[in-house]
């Protein structure tokens, strides 16, 4: 826990650096595949310090996050073939993985969308998407929509309401996004039922 807190504090200090946009790009890129701290930690103080750059800051976070998602996808795709598949074959579970992949790929775009806006670790979905061979265009489109929604909503709220909204974003925005996704999925379920 101490290491995560130190990483969090270090990440936050980057927001005050003259290289903050580059730092945001690196953090957003790495968070999509391996890094534990979300880019919001950098984004929030950056937008509060320079609200006129909110759109640019959100765009940098989006582009770097989607690029990092592609790295996560590649990790899933590349390491699965060299490590994962032989292990599954050894235990006779490779056929089960085929069924799992089919089911995941049927709903994979939703998984990417949900993980992209909720507290669920996006890196897990990026790697899983590569492992199961989720359509790359579907993965990219869902990532752009989800991460764009997440970063641009945060940037817009900070631009519009400033520092008073910061507490709300840091404490409750993940819950709001989770509820939004639940309502969205419930709406689609209701429409398909009717």
Q: What is the model's pLDDT at position 188?
A: 47
- Please state the pTM of the whole predicted model: 0.76
For 30-55, what is the mean pLDDT? 84
What is the domain partition of the chain in residue ranges?
Answer: 2-193
- Using an 8 Å Cβ cutoff, are 115 and 146 in contact? yes
DSSP state of 50: -
Query: pLDDT tens digit string along 106-123?
Result: 888 888 887 777 667 788
State the residue for tokens 């519009």: 160
Q: Could you give the CA distance from residue 145 to residue 164 in angstroms, rounded to a whole number?
A: 27
The DSSP line for 94-159 is HHHHHHHHHHHHHHHHHHHHHHHHSSS-HHHHHHHHHHHT--HHHHHHHHHHHHHHHHHHHHHHHH
Q: Could you give the CA distance from residue 2 to residue 19 in angstroms, rounded to a whole number?
A: 26
Q: What is the model's pLDDT at position 123?
A: 82
- Residue 183 scores a pLDDT above 60: no
Query: pLDDT tens digit string along 52-97?
Result: 899 999 999 999 999 999 998 998 899 888 866 776 577 676 676 7
State the residue for tokens 């976070």: 61
For 22-42, what is the mean pLDDT? 86
Indicate the average pLDDT of the chain: 79
- Residue 47 scores a pLDDT above 90: no
């Amino acid at each position: 826990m101490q290491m995560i807190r130190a990483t969090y504090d270090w990440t936050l200090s980057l927001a005050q650096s003259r290289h903050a946009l580059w730092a945001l790009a690196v953090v957003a890129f790495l968070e999509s595949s391996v890094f534990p701290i979300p880019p919001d930690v950098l984004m929030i103080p950056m937008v509060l310090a320079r609200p006129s750059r909110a759109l640019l800051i959100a765009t940098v976070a989006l582009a770097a996050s989607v690029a990092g998602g592609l790295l996560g996808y590649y990790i899933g795709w590349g390491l699965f073939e060299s490590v994962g598949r032989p292990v599954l074959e050894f235990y006779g579970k490779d056929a089960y993985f085929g069924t799992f992949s089919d089911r995941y790929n049927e709903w994979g775009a939703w998984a990417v969308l949900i993980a992209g806006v909720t507290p669920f670790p996006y890196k897990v979905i990026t790697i899983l998407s590569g492992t199961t061979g989720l359509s790359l265009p579907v993965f990219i489109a869902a990532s752009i929509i989800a991460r764009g929604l997440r970063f641009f909503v945060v940037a817009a709220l900070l631009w519009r309401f400033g520092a008073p909204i910061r507490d709300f974003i840091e404490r409750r925005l993940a819950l709001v996004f989770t509820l939004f996704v639940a309502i969205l999925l419930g709406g689609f379920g209701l429409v398909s039922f009717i």
